[in-house]
Structure 1
Amino acid sequence: MFLLIPLFVILALCLLCAAAAGWFMLGRAPAAVKTVGQLSEREHQGRRYLAYVPPTLAPGAGVVLVLHGGARAEQARRGTGYRFEQLADERGFVVAYPQPFEGAWNDSRKLLPVAARQQGVDDSAYLASLAQALVAEHGLDTRRVFVFGHSSGGQMALRLAVERPDAVQGVAVTAACLPAPGNDVATHRRRMVPVLMVNGTVDPLTAFNGGSQSLFGFSPRGELLSARATAEHFAALAQAPNHDSEPLPMSGKGDSTQVIRHRWSVSAGPRVELYEVRGGGHALPRPNGRGPRGLGLQTAALDAPVAACDFFGLQAPSGS
């Protein structure tokens, strides 16, 4: 009889933990969307990626590489709510979803216990090569190569921006910041790439104000710069002293977050943008789907893929 009590307690604790984990991971899967282009599974240098090509592709069109923090290319499609494919149909550009080496990118954080780091995989070179291959295959413009990244995919996009500014003409990231000095293995080139950032002020994984990063106390990733310091780093490279801030309209959908857009610009236009999502978490704002509840709020006041494509200058063809 007395042995049954501890077993009952253990069982109850297990059920409680399972319920808590279920609540933490609860999100909203993106609904299926109607697209008219062609999605295909491809391979480059022995690594899998997905490519989406719209039915109408004008000569000199652009390409967006979409990097996710997940292990598989399909997660990048779902994690962005298939939004880039919709935008590709509307605006006429190619989308590629590269798959990280053995499930994780070799970004520039020094503390990074992943196979790509242990085996010396040069993901910056791989992504630059993939972009060149897509440009050659589809007759794209080498001056219209862009990268969008979320979470560790965003960390990888930032590494590409500082190491290979010759290979990319713009980068947009959500829930990512540059590593702090001493935690950065990237080779920085003193050349500017336009950068757009989206960061939540209560992100539990990538703190808006910087500092030590880990996976909820496990697997430390070292120190990161704050979102503001990351934006100011790129603004300094761009010699863009003009700074302004403005709030975006509230969504009015029971959404308690507020988005403030900070811009650093030169006479030719914005070079760095930071969307500060007040009350937002480790999220990729998009209208179709929602990330795990335990990672914090996802604002409805911003569509990150649209903001990125606007920032990149990927507009719908005139007359469409």
Structure 2
Amino acid sequence: MLTTTRDHVDVAGATRTFTTVRPANDQAGRALVLVFHGSRQTGDKHRAFTGQAFDRFAATGSAVVAYLDGYRGNWNDARKESWFPARRDGVDDLAFTRAVITKLAGEYRIDPDRVFAIGYSNGGQLVMRLVHEAPGLLAGAAVVAATMPAPESFLATDTPPAPLPVVFFHGTKDPIVAYGGGPMSWWKQRLFKVGGTSWSAPRTARYFAERNGITAAPVVTREPAPAGAATEVERSEYREEGKPPVVLYTIRGGGHTVPGPAKNPAVLGKTSRESDAADLVGTFFGLPVGAAVR
């Protein structure tokens, strides 16, 4: 049985909110999974958007899951050419993240060395900012439908790299964040209030592998797909002995969606049913994943 609560923390004089999903029984040393939503969502909306797939970490009793709420629907991520409210108002989402970790570690005896972050779209951009500006905060990161800003569009202050495992998911037919990278088109700039140029998904994965000290080329495998499947899944895995791995799941034919059973709006493109982000993230992070939450 799971317990769901609405929580809050005070950050720089402002009240920030989030939803916590946890096992009903009390147990010390659990992991913490932080989930960061996409633009114009909230934590609860993203939880519904993904069919509560990430609740499955809590269903096994191995983790507490927190769905954080952005500021007026967005995160102050690391893209230089942003002008949504979180950027205009100078919102400190790193401080918010730290405050959530501190609160939940105190209340539910979370293991502070086992904090993982999952971010979708704008939330994925924030996760990449956390990796750069808060080294050692996370034990692993998962980024869905987001790629690194090109150097001239990158705002975050880089610190000496703290290697950590990172897994990416990106559709080749993503209509919002192009798999191949490049400049943000004019209509996307107007709609999402963000511009600049981004790298491709493969270049992004290679960048994080290089940050981890990996020099070997990725091992690429194509996952078998049933006849008539709408998408195909290709895995590019960067590994070297003694160094945290980086994996890119390329969803061929996939859109701006989270792989798994949830049905996303058709305007975002196709959702992969041949892969499940929660299962793959759980395996990558070494976290047990329970059955689908109803």
TM-score by length of 2: 0.90
In structure 2, the partner of 1:30 is none
Note the C-alpha offset of 1:188. 1.2
**Residue 245 of structure 1: which of 220, 226, 230 is its match?**
220
- What's the secondary structure of 2:196's corresponding residue? strand
Hey, what's the Cα distance between the residues in 2 that align with 1:106 and 1:282? 20
Q: What one-letter code is carried by the residue in structure 1 that aligns with 2:57?
A: L
Secondary structure of residue in 2 paired with 1:283: coil
1:290 paired with 2:259, answer no
What residue is the counterpart of 2:4 in the other structure?
39
Partners of 1:186 and 1:251 lie apart in 2 by: 42
Aligned to 1:154: 124
Judged with a 3 Å threshold, the aligned counterparts in structure 2 of structure 1 residues 105 and 249 are, in CA distance, closer, same or farther, namely same
Q: Give the Å deviation of 1:158.
A: 1.1
The whole-number CA distance in structure 1 between the counterparts of 2:169 and 2:61 is: 22
Q: Within 2, Cα distance between the matches of 1:171 and 1:235?
A: 13
- SS of the aligned residue for 2:18 comes to strand
Q: Deviations over 1:53-86 (max 9, x none)?
A: 1124532110101111133221121122111113
Q: Give, in angstroms, the shift of residue 255 of structure 1.
A: 1.9
Taking a change above 3 Å as real, the CA distance of residues 316 and 80 of structure 1, as seen in their structure-2 partners, is closer
Aligned match for 2:86, one of 102, 109, 116: 116
Name the residue aligned to 2:21. Answer: 52
1:255 aligns with 2:229: yes
Report if the CA contact (8 A) 1:172-1:197 is conserved: yes
1:201 pairs, out of 172, 176, 194, with 172
Deviation track 1:127-181 (CA, whole Å, cap 9, x = no partner) reads: 1221122112211111100000111111111111111122111110110011111
Post-superposition offset of 1:266: 2.0
The answer to whether the 8 A contact 2:189-2:195 is kept is: no
Shift of 1:291: 1.3
How many corresponding residue pairs? 280
Q: 2:78 & 2:204 partners in 1: Cα distance?
A: 14
What's the CA shift string for 1:229-275, capped at 9, x where partnerless? 111111011112332111112144x3231111111112247510000
* Structure with greater Cα Rg: 1
The residue that corresponds to 2:67 in the other structure is: 97
Residues 1:273 and 2:247 are matched in the alignment: yes
Instruction: Tell me the equivalent position of 2:277.
Output: 304
Helix, strand or coil for the counterpart of 1:103? Answer: coil
2-structure distance, mates of 1:71, 1:241: 37
What's the secondary structure of 1:157's corresponding residue?
helix
Amino acid at match of 2:98: A
**Kept in 2: contact 1:80–1:305 (CA 8 A):** no
* Percent pairwise identity: 35
Q: What value does the CA root-mean-square deviation take over the aligned residues?
A: 1.8
* CA offset digits 1:192-250 (Å, max 9, x no partner): 22210001111111111110124744425210111111111110111123321111121
The code of the aligned residue for 1:275 comes to: Y
| Structure 1 residue 315 corresponds to structure 2 residue 288 | yes
Q: Distance in 1 between matches of 2:74 and 2:258?
A: 18
SS in 1 for 2:110: coil
Unaligned runs of 5+ in 1: 1-35
TM-score (norm 1): 0.83
**Equivalent residue number for residue 24 of structure 1:** none
Could you say if the C-alpha distance between residues 228 and 111 of structure 1 is closer, same or farther in structure 2, counting changes exceeding 3 Å?
same
Q: Note closer, same or farther for the CA distance 1:236–1:94 as it changes in structure 2 (3 Å cut).
A: same
- Matches of 2:253 and 2:289, distance apart in 1: 32
Asked if structure 1 preserves the Cα contact closer than 8 Å seen for 2:175 and 2:268, the reply is yes
